[in-house]
Every structure is written in C-alpha cells, then in structure tokens.
Amino acid sequence: MNISTEALIYKAALEDWCSTNGGIAIVVSNLRMLWQQAAMESDRVRALICYVGESARGPFSRAAATGRVDRQWQIAFTRGRGLNEDRGTSLTDTVGNADPFLDLVENGRDKIRCLFTTSVEAPLDYKGMEPMSMGNLIVDGYTIKFSTAHDLPGLTQTSPTGNPI
C-alpha cells in the first residue's frame, strides 16, 4: 500500500465522524502545516492527518533484506472551546449542541484503532494520545500517534539504461 492511499483511508474513516460533529478531516503535508491548521480559530471539530516518516525495521544486517518499515503517523483532533466562563466545560460537558470534546477525541481515536487494513501487522501500533503543546502556543486539541508496518517492494539491479545487469 502506498502512503497516499493510506492517508486517504484515514481521511475517509474520519470524514463521516467529523461531518456528523460539524467538522472536517484534512491530510496535511507536514507537522508545521498541522500546527498552522491547529492554531487557526475554529468552532468545529477537525482531524488533521500527517504522515511523519518511516524507519526500517530491525538492525542493519536484516533491515535491507526484509524490506519492512514502520510508517509513523500523527492525527491532531482540534476544536475551539467556545464562549463559556469555565473554559474547561466543553471538555467534559455538552455545551449548546456540542458533545464533550474529550468524548469526541476518544471516538476519533477508536475510529483509527479499529482499522485493520492499513498495516501488514494488524492491528496498527497505537502509541498513545497527548494534549497538543508547543512552547507557549496554546492549542485546544489532542494528538494521537501510531505506526503501521509495510513491506517495501523488492529491489532489482538495472543499468543506467534500464536493462537488467
């Protein structure tokens, strides 16, 4: 499975959930864009999906031969707090017609954890969830981190002209 297909699977899994809650799912190109999007004022739920790289599986002596990699992903769930006297109220209580944000984050996390088609080793390797923080930047959101296992295509030796050696 290529990386773009995998990103689209995560987006599709979260689009219905986001739209039901008045929001959107977006694939972003890098962590900087993720933070730029997360810092934007919004009163709707957003899922920001970011591929953050991959690493070869195993020690050097085996990594090239096996061709297995672990792809790293981060998904940020954000939503503005709304206008309440107690800014934490929207995390735990229904405010207006908005469900508690912590419940929404759990639901989004579980949508991803339940996908068994994006890794050759099911289930995907869920690493955890944490509040979004970056220096003094205040963002109302949480990031989940996970990885998926993939086998790279086999290599062939070819000459510069494209003919097998």
Angle at 108 between CA 105 and CA 96, to 5 degrees: 50
Tell me whether residue 15 is in a domain. yes
Domain of residue 32, residue span: 3-151
Q: Which residues pair with 130 in a beta bridge?
A: 143
Tell me whether residue 14 is in a domain. yes
100: which residues sit within 8 A by CB, 6+ positions away? 90, 91, 92, 93, 94
DSSP state at residue 122:
S
Tell me whether residue 147 is in a domain. yes
Q: What is the pTM of this model?
A: 0.82
Tell me whether residue 98 is in a domain. yes
Instruction: Assign residue 115 the CATH number of its domain.
Output: 3.30.2000.10
Cα(83)–Cα(11) distance, rounded to whole angstroms?
29
**Least confident span in 15-24, 46-55, 91-100, 116-125:** 91-100
Cα(75)–Cα(34) distance, rounded to whole angstroms?
9
* pLDDT at site 156: 63
Tell me whether residue 126 is in a domain. yes
109: which residues sit within 8 A by CB, 6+ positions away? 77, 126, 129, 144
* pLDDT at site 83: 47
Q: How many domains does the chain have?
A: 1
The yes-or-no verdict on residue 112 having pLDDT over 90 is yes
Q: pLDDT confidence of 34, banded at 50, 70, 90? A: confident
* pLDDT at site 50: 97
* pLDDT at site 140: 80
Looking at every residue in the chain, the average pLDDT score rounds to 83
* pLDDT at site 67: 85
Angle at 55 between CA 50 and CA 57, to 5 degrees: 135
Tell me whether residue 158 is in a domain. no
Tell me whether residue 99 is in a domain. yes
Residue of 74, 50, 78, 91 lying closest to 141 (CA atoms): 78
pLDDT digits (tens, 9 = 90+) for 53-103: 999 988 877 777 788 899 999 999 988 655 445 556 566 656 666 678 888
Q: Which has the higher per-residue pLDDT, 122 or 99?
A: 122
Question: Contact 119/3 with Cβ under 8 angstroms?
Answer: no
Q: Which of 25-29, 75-79, 82-86, 116-120 is predicted most confidently? A: 25-29
Tell me whether residue 157 is in a domain. no
Angle at 105 between CA 75 and CA 53, to 5 degrees: 10
